[in-house]
A and B are shown apart, each in its own frame.
Chain A
Amino acid sequence: MTEHHPDPMNVTNPEHDEHHIVSPLQYTMVFGTLLVFTGVTVGAAYIDLGLFNPVIALGIACFKACIVILFFMHVKYSSRLVKMTVGAGFFTFLILVTMSLTDYMSRAWGRW
Chain B
Amino acid sequence: MDNHTIAHTEEHHVSLPQHRHHFETEEQQREAATFGMWLFLLTEIMFFGGLFMAYLLYRNWYYDAFVAASNTLNIGLGAVNTAVLIGSGFAMALAVWAAEVRKKGLLVIFLIITTLLGTVFLGVKYVEYKEKFELRHVPGANFDISRFVNPPADARDQQHLAPDMAHKTEIYFSLYFAMTGMHALHMIIGIGLLIWLTIRAQRGAFSSGYVAPIENFGLYWHFVDIVWLFLFPLLYLINIHPMH
Listed in ascending order, the chain A residues whose CB lies under 8 Å from chain B are 2, 8-10, 13-19, 21-24, 27-28, 30-31, 34-35, 38, 41-42, 45-51, 53-54, 57-58, 60-61, 64-65, 68-69, 71-74, 78-79, 81-82, 85-86, 88-90, 92-93, 96-97, 100-101, 104-105, 110-111
Q: Which of B53, B61, B209, B243 contacts A15 (CB 8 A)?
A: B209
How long is the Cα–Cα vector from A15 to B29 in the complex, in angstroms?
9
Q: Is B149 an interface residue (CB 8 A)?
A: no
In Å, the complex CA distance between A87 and B86 comes to 23
CB < 8 Å neighbour of B233 from A30, A60, A74, A85: A60
Task: Assess the A50–B211 pair: CB atoms within 8 A.
Answer: no
Q: Which of B94, B218, B229, B241 contacts A64 (CB 8 A)?
A: B229
With contacts A85-B42, A97-B53 known, is A14 near B26, CB below 8 A? yes
Q: Is the CB of A45 within 8 A of B233?
A: yes
A88 to B82, CA, bound (A): 27
Q: Is the CB of A15 within 8 A of B93?
A: no
Whether B237 and A57, one on each chain, are in contact in the complex, defined by CB atoms closer than 8 angstroms, is yes
> Which residues from chain B sit less than 8 Å from chain A, CB to CB?
13-14, 16, 18, 26-27, 30-31, 34-35, 38-39, 41-42, 45-46, 49, 52-53, 56-57, 60-61, 75, 79, 82-83, 86-87, 89-90, 92-94, 97, 100-101, 209-212, 215, 218-219, 222-223, 225-226, 229-230, 232-234, 236-238, 240-241, 243
| Contact present for B229 and A57 (CB under 8 Å) | no
- Cβ contact of A42, chosen from B42, B75, B219, cutoff 8 A: B75
Please pick, from A15, A54, A88, A96, the residue contacting B18 in the complex, using a CB distance under 8 A: A15
Asked if B13 contacts A96 (CB within 8 A), the reply is: no
- Contact in complex: A85, B38 (CB < 8 Å): yes
Do B218 and A72 touch across chains, with their CB atoms under 8 A apart? yes
The residues of B that contact A49 with a CB separation of less than 8 Å are 241
A-B contact pairs, 17 of them (CB 8 A): A14-B209, A15-B30, A22-B97, A28-B90, A38-B82, A42-B79, A48-B241, A49-B241, A54-B233, A57-B234, A58-B238, A61-B233, A68-B226, A86-B38, A96-B49, A101-B57, A110-B60
Inter-chain contact A61/B42, CB cutoff 8 Å: no
| Set of chain B residues within 8 Å of A10, measured between Cβ atoms | 13-14, 26
* Contact of B229 with A101 in the complex, beta carbons under 8 Å: no
Enumerate chain A residues within 8 angstroms of B92, measured Cβ to Cβ.
72
